[in-house]
Structure 1
Amino acid sequence: MKQLNDEILKSTNEMWADRPVVFGDGDKNAIIMLIGEAPGAEEVKEGKPFVGKAGKNLNEFLEILGLKRENLYISNVVKVRPTKNSPKTGKPINRPPNREELELFVPYLQREIQLVKPEFIVTLGNFALKNTLMDSKITIGECHGTLIEYNGFKVFPLYHPASIIYNRALSEVYQQDLLKLKELL
């Protein structure tokens, strides 16, 4: 994993020296790997994935599953924070990753998965689902809460924990999906 992280750091520094890298974190022999979209401001500040508001929701979901964060491996598709300047404040705000970021980071994600070799991959959100499965047509709305076999891995798509912050109606669906996942584990 160190070699992979060194390669990521080298590639990133060549393209975006001013953008800190947030590597995957946790047990490198984990049975479960969680994959999100990209780090946000809090993640960059702490150097760990899922520590901001979405991290709070993630911790609640881990509690429902009876899992501890240190027993998982948590990563993102994109390892740097994608930002744009807010038209109101001029300060950096999150934006969806662009093609250049995907071209750099998706191959690294695929290698990261092969190194961890988890039994289960839990994708968090549409973006993580599409880029983990390398399928631009699949959507979280059509396959959340269902087990998908992919390259010898069991992939379980969930809505992103942040989606509950913005859409409270998803909370019940999210809870039901978590219970399905708990049964599989």
Structure 2
Amino acid sequence: MNDFCASLWPEESTPDSLKNCSNCGLFQHGSRMVWGEGNPKAPILILLDNPGSREDSKNKPFICGTRQTLQQAAFHVGLTPDDLYVTYVLKRKPTRAYDKEQTRKICMNHLEAQLQTKRPQMIVCLGNVAVQSFFQNQELDVKSLRGQFHHVNGYKAAVAYHPLAVRRRPNLWSAFLEDWQLIAAQYFKENQVQ
């Protein structure tokens, strides 16, 4: 794990018809829409709350802590960049206060459209926002759902802590890695990967 080197994943272009979407109001925050990153045809779709920073203050691409921790765990259990696609509940990074519940509800329409097109083999929800949004239940949390697969709207889903939570609380690393081991084992079993 010490020689782990995070990498930038290619960003998937936002559909032209949605680049200027203003339905949820986040366009007023000045952040651009990020549709997703990684392999758009990947069997494993990773759902996060919203995009993090992709560029530094000088507009140079960089790898944020979320990506580093996510890639470190996924690659540690044998998954490759081709296996993974990352997308978000919110397609724009919020920069100030907003109506969270209403905005997430509106933005879930984009995710539903993505899922209909991509039809991933499994979905991995990272963090409570992703869990509550995807499972459509504000009472659920990662702690109570992790460690097993769930069937939600016709999809096999697993949950794990948000990578930033793991970075802030290193004691969560072992649980985070256990969840990725579960995900990888199921993926390899279903695809008869040795």
The TM-score bracket by the shorter chain reads: 0.7 to 0.9
Q: Which residue among 20, 43, 46 is the counterpart of 1:10?
A: 20
Answer yes or no: is the 8 Å Cα contact 2:151–2:157 preserved in 1: yes
Kindly indicate whether residue 184 of structure 2 is the aligned counterpart of residue 182 of structure 1: yes
Mark the CA change 1:149 to 1:115 in structure 2 (over 3 Å): closer, same or farther.
same
Mark the CA change 1:46 to 1:104 in structure 2 (over 3 Å): closer, same or farther.
farther
The equivalent residue for 2:162 is: 160
Mark the CA change 1:42 to 1:10 in structure 2 (over 3 Å): closer, same or farther.
closer
The equivalent residue for 2:118 is: 116
Root-mean-square deviation (Å):
2.8
Q: Which residue among 14, 27, 32 is the counterpart of 2:44?
A: 32
Offset of 1:111 from its aligned partner?
Answer: 1.4
Offset of 1:127 from its aligned partner?
Answer: 0.6
The equivalent residue for 1:56 is: 68
Give, as a single letter, the amino acid of the residue that structure 2 aligns with 1:123: C
Q: How many residues align?
A: 172
Mark the CA change 1:177 to 1:103 in structure 2 (over 3 Å): closer, same or farther.
closer
Instruction: Give the distance between the partners of 1:160 and 1:138, measured in 2 at CA.
Output: 14
Answer yes or no: is the 8 Å Cα contact 1:110–1:132 preserved in 2: no
Report the TM-score, using the length of structure 2 for normalisation: 0.77
- Percent identical residues: 22
Give, as a single letter, the amino acid of the residue that structure 2 aligns with 1:120: M
More helix by share: 1
Instruction: Give the distance between the partners of 1:14 and 1:147, measured in 2 at CA.
Output: 31
Offset of 1:148 from its aligned partner?
Answer: 0.3
Offset of 1:5 from its aligned partner?
Answer: 2.5
Offset of 1:7 from its aligned partner?
Answer: 3.5
Instruction: Give the distance between the partners of 2:52 and 2:133, measured in 1 at CA.
Output: 18
Offset of 1:4 from its aligned partner?
Answer: 7.1
Answer yes or no: is the 8 Å Cα contact 2:69–2:163 preserved in 1: yes
Offset of 1:14 from its aligned partner?
Answer: 9.1
Offset of 1:25 from its aligned partner?
Answer: 2.1
Structure 1 gap ranges (5+):
85-94
Offset of 1:75 from its aligned partner?
Answer: 0.5
Report the TM-score, using the length of structure 1 for normalisation: 0.80
Structure 2 gap ranges (5+):
1-11, 188-194
Instruction: Give the distance between the partners of 2:60 and 2:99, measured in 1 at CA.
Output: 20
Kindly indicate whether residue 15 of structure 2 is the aligned counterpart of residue 41 of structure 1: no
Residue-by-residue CA offset, 1:44-79 (whole Å, 9 max, x unaligned): 95789xx41110111101212212223322101101
Kindly indicate whether residue 27 of structure 2 is the aligned counterpart of residue 23 of structure 1: no
Offset of 1:143 from its aligned partner?
Answer: 0.4
Q: Which residue among 84, 89, 108 is the counterpart of 1:77?
A: 89
Where 1:154 maps in the other structure, the secondary structure is: strand
